[in-house]
Structure formats: C-alpha cells, structure tokens
Amino acid sequence: MYPVNFRKERAEYLLDCLATGKPIAPSQAGEWTIDDMMALAGACHFGAMSHGPILATVMGIDTTKLPKEYQEAHEETLFADLRAAIEFYGHLTMLVEDGQYDSEFEPCMVAAVRQTGDVQSSVTVVQGHKSQRGLGGPGE
C-alpha cells in the first residue's frame, strides 16, 4: 500500500505547466516533497498515456478503428508497457545517482521496453549500451 495525498489544484498546475512548457516548481518553496514527486509522476504518466500506444502510432494504426476487443488489448498493453518504461527510467536514473551509469551506457541510450508478464519486463537496447549482457532482453 502507498499513501496518496492528491490535490486538484496541484494537478491543474502540473497539467498547465506540461501543456505550455512552463517550469515546474515544488509546492513548498525550495523543497520537493514525496507528494510533489508522486503528483508530477502521475501527471507525466497521464501525459504519456494520452498519446496512446506509440508502436501503433509509429506503424500508422488507428486503434479507434479496430474491433473493441483489439482496442482493449492495445490499452492493456499500453498501461503495462508504460509502467515497465517508467520503472526502467527510474532504474537508469538510480544508476546515474549511484555513479554506475557510465560503466554500462553511453550518454545517450535508446531502448524498447515491454511488459512480458505480470511482473517481468524485457529491455532491448537499440543503441548506447556498452555490453548487451544482463538486461533481460532477447536471449536472456
């Protein structure tokens, strides 16, 4: 269980900043609280989610024209893949904080992340990994 302290006014502020490119400040001057970080994560998750399945978009598939069961499958896949991608972004950020990123990755890294089960995700690095071992990608 994780506590949630949601404030509508804060969500409106975050949505406005994300839509207009304004800088995002913490709710308390100079201090980012856990609630601030989680609210920002939720707003960013919503923003990414609102773009729909990226793979379908790249392939030119209009998922709204698919049969309802296919639309639902695309939606479920999107939610799972977004969670996996966010977790991977978090992992990469942790590696930067711990000073371990540079030993594994180039300054710019491109990967594809997907959820392959209830808890397992797979990462396929397309560019920027110094060694393909240990990522859970194909052949792992």
pLDDT at 140: 38
Return the domain boundaries, the chain.
Answer: 1-50, 54-140
**Phi and psi dihedrals of 59, rounded to 5?**
-85, 0
Strands 121-129 and 105-115: antiparallel
pLDDT of residue 44: 95
pLDDT in tens, 40-75: 999 999 998 887 666 555 556 666 676 777 666 667
- Give me the pLDDT at residue 81, please: 86
Shortest CA distance to 86 belongs to which of 125, 56, 114? 114
Q: What is the mean pLDDT of each run of 10 residues along the chain (140 residues)?
A: 93 96 92 95 91 63 69 75 90 95 93 79 84 48
Cα 132 from Cα 118, distance rounded (Å)? 24
- Which pLDDT score, from 0 to 100, does residue 54 have? 65
Q: What is the CA radius of gyration of the chain?
A: 18
What's the confidence (pLDDT) of residue 134?
47
Query: What kind and span of H or E run contains 106?
Result: strand 105-115
Q: Cite the DSSP H helix spans in 50-138.
A: 54-58, 68-97, 101-104
In sequence order, the β-bridge partners of residue 110 are: 127
